[in-house]
Structure 1
Amino acid sequence: MTTSALDALIPGDLIARAAEYLRSVLRPTPCQYSPGLSQLLGRQVWLKWELIQPTRSFKVRGALFAVHELARSAANRDAALVTASTGNHGLGLAFAASQAGRTAYVYVPQGANPAKVEAMRTLGAEIRVAGSDWQEAFEHATAVCARDGLPYVHSFEDPNIVAGQATIGTELAADGPDAHTVLVPIGGGGLIAGVARGLAAAGVGARVIGVEPAGADRMRRSLEAGKVVRIPPFTTIADGLAARAPGELTFGVTKALVDRVVTVEETAIREAMAAVFRAERLPVEPSSATTIAALATHDAGVIPGERVVCLMTGGNVDPALLREVVGQ
């Protein structure tokens, strides 16, 4: 895809504006070499630590920038903000709203991660439980926005959100290793679209490989079909990867810039969580662990000796799950 075609999806100047703004409100996250995981996996493994963000997740990048951009419009400057989330995007929006002195309404599905829901409340979000999964919570939330004329802040299908996540790619280009491959978890696709677009905007030629849970391979199926595919409701330990379908925007960027998408089994995700904890003494969410699981189970196409960056996207782990996994 040409630069002009990519700019039609996510403009390069929008990424530059996101990077400039986020530098004023967030510190860059480190990308560190992991001797333990490198020895275990036979690759040069670097970890991009997004779990040290204020909300312990990369999602705060897109949320902060989206709220900043909404404030440029007088009609949206003071209105309450609405979203649907299984956790980390809701946390990001709650944080961004609190920084801007605005109200955030977060619709969460039944059974959402209780630790993340409580953290959203602590940040001042109004929680509304609706539906059995993210899709149903999304439908409730957007219906309220249509009825009440409130702005909906989508967790992935929004150029401002994707531009915010793209700053991970621009940070890697500026401060990361000279990586051959970057492994990125996929939910709705906002992260992988952003990282791939940010790297491309910075002129970095590293391969970008997406990782999905085996029972939630909506992006892989969409790429095979050549169009967005919605999958049936599913269950996965990786609650942060909860969307049933990518967006048209995120699918378009992924199709243009991502090398391939691989899937990992639930057991491999659990084992990867434990491996990261033992190597780094830091708890990572199942969503983060999918990247390590991909290297451990089928190498994700990464050749021995290559430098690979794995995104550690979040650290909001349910304590009971962490005890269960680490105790394996």
Structure 2
Amino acid sequence: MTSASIDQLCGRQVFFKCENLQRTGSYKVRGATNHIVALREQLGDQLTGVVAASSGNHGQAVAYVARMLRIPATIVVPKDILGVKLFGLRAQGAHIEMIDGGSDDLNAASTAIARSSGYHEIPPYDHALTIAGQSTCLYEAVTQQNMTELDVVLCPVGGGGLTAGTALALEATHSPARLIAVEPEGADDTYQSWKLGRRISIEGPATVADALRSNSPGELTFEIMRRRLHSVVTVSDQEINAAMRLIWERLKLVVEPSGAVPLAGLLNRDIPGGGPALVVLTGGNVEFPLPQPLPEDSRSRMGTIATLQ
């Protein structure tokens, strides 16, 4: 999908990969499908159930695939999960465990449940099968749309599953495009890790982009990102909200804050080159009213847009 007014604002041609239109409303269904189907093929009826930690999108994807395969699913979520994501989980028939804490706490609880129940854990990002599934997003865009001349690809980054998968897809397609990860300022674990050259953990990530509130990048994902990433940039919640509004108004698409993060980076940071850019809109599971009001000065850019119509 494209928008002439967004192209003009960014000073380059921008393509949007609309993963907000996926089953369960996010790209996460790619990794969940690849992982669980592989387990079913390997284990058959010995796959008695799956368990996953999630802020919402990964959990919905795991629950959806499990329901399709008639496998029980337990999803560990934070107590402050958005209502729209909790509703989606319940609609898929998953058993839900709500706990206090951040992504590290959720992952620890998921691992404990897997050990006690005999269920197989489906990590949200740090597993080869999950990463391979996420790689199909970029591979699909490049092969279906013949985007051989892409200059840059921008992905939001939390734990790093999509970004690592995108890196693998760029390598597989021999694309020279630069891969840039965009992260919220209030949850900048990948940015800090990237600067230091090693994984670090942050305390209490806080951002409107709830799907990106990770404490640290994954071990496997970080190694892949270090090999192929061009850079990591961060954006403010104000910039995320403004980008989300722009997508709604120009593309007529509902995206969640996390899905608007890469466009916020393209609009507000010094992104190299001037050739075509691919922006991955990762999800559309947003709750109304918005998690926080759009700031008044986020509308200043909208005045510019009005002159482009």
**TM above 0.5:** yes
1:104-151 Cα offsets, whole Å, 9 max, x none, are 100101101110111111011111101232222221121121222221
Deviation (angstroms), 1:65 = 0.6
Find the counterpart in structure 1 of residue 239 from structure 2.
Answer: 268
Alignment match of 2:268 (pick from 284, 297, 309): 297
Find the counterpart in structure 1 of residue 305 from structure 2.
Answer: none
1:47-69 Cα offsets, whole Å, 9 max, x none, are 00111111110000000010011
1:89 aligns with 2:58: yes
Amino acid at match of 1:189: G
Amino acid at match of 2:58: H
Deviates more, 1:252-261 or 1:278-287: 278-287
Q: Secondary structure of the equivalent of 1:107?
A: strand
Deviates more, 1:310-319 or 1:147-156: 147-156
Deviation (angstroms), 1:76 = 6.9
Cα-Cα RMSD: 1.7
Amino acid at match of 1:321: L
Find the counterpart in structure 1 of residue 288 from structure 2.
Answer: 319
Alpha carbons of structure 1 residues 322 and 39: separation in structure 2 relative to 1, 3 Å? farther
Deviates more, 1:158-167 or 1:67-76: 67-76
Runs of 4+, deviation exceeding 6 Å: none
1:245 aligns with 2:216: yes
Q: Secondary structure of the equivalent of 1:83?
A: strand
- Measured in 2, the distance between the counterparts of 1:33 and 1:211 equals 20
Find the counterpart in structure 1 of residue 277 from structure 2.
Answer: 308
TM-score, length-scaled by structure 1: 0.86
- Measured in 1, the distance between the counterparts of 2:118 and 2:69 equals 20
Deviation (angstroms), 1:41 = 2.2
Give the unaligned 5+ runs of structure 1. Answer: 1-31
1:162 aligns with 2:131: yes
The answer on whether the counterparts of 2:153 and 2:179 sit within 8 Å (CA) in structure 1 is yes
The answer on whether the counterparts of 2:157 and 2:212 sit within 8 Å (CA) in structure 1 is yes
Alpha carbons of structure 1 residues 185 and 76: separation in structure 2 relative to 1, 3 Å? farther
The answer on whether the counterparts of 1:181 and 1:206 sit within 8 Å (CA) in structure 2 is yes
Amino acid at match of 1:166: S
Find the counterpart in structure 2 of residue 226 from structure 1.
Answer: 197
Deviation (angstroms), 1:103 = 1.0
Find the counterpart in structure 2 of residue 283 from structure 1.
Answer: 254
Alpha carbons of structure 1 residues 213 and 322: separation in structure 2 relative to 1, 3 Å? closer
Q: Secondary structure of the equivalent of 1:208?
A: strand
1:202 aligns with 2:173: yes
The answer on whether the counterparts of 2:125 and 2:131 sit within 8 Å (CA) in structure 1 is yes
1:64 aligns with 2:33: yes
Deviation (angstroms), 1:322 = 7.5
TM-score, length-scaled by structure 2: 0.91
The answer on whether the counterparts of 1:292 and 1:310 sit within 8 Å (CA) in structure 2 is yes
Deviation (angstroms), 1:220 = 1.6
The answer on whether the counterparts of 1:295 and 1:302 sit within 8 Å (CA) in structure 2 is no
Deviation (angstroms), 1:169 = 2.0
Find the counterpart in structure 1 of residue 24 from structure 2.
Answer: 55
Q: Secondary structure of the equivalent of 1:72?
A: helix
Deviation (angstroms), 1:75 = 7.2
The answer on whether the counterparts of 2:163 and 2:225 sit within 8 Å (CA) in structure 1 is yes
Deviation (angstroms), 1:214 = 0.8
1:43 aligns with 2:12: yes
Amino acid at match of 1:289: A
Aligned residues: 295
Find the counterpart in structure 2 of residue 117 from structure 1.
Answer: 86
1:63-106 Cα offsets, whole Å, 9 max, x none, are 00100111133277431110110010001101110111111100
Q: Secondary structure of the equivalent of 2:142?
A: helix
Deviates more, 1:69-78 or 1:228-237: 69-78
Alignment match of 2:228 (pick from 249, 252, 257): 257
Q: Secondary structure of the equivalent of 2:155?
A: strand
1:236 aligns with 2:198: no
The answer on whether the counterparts of 1:157 and 1:248 sit within 8 Å (CA) in structure 2 is yes
Deviation (angstroms), 1:324 = 4.2
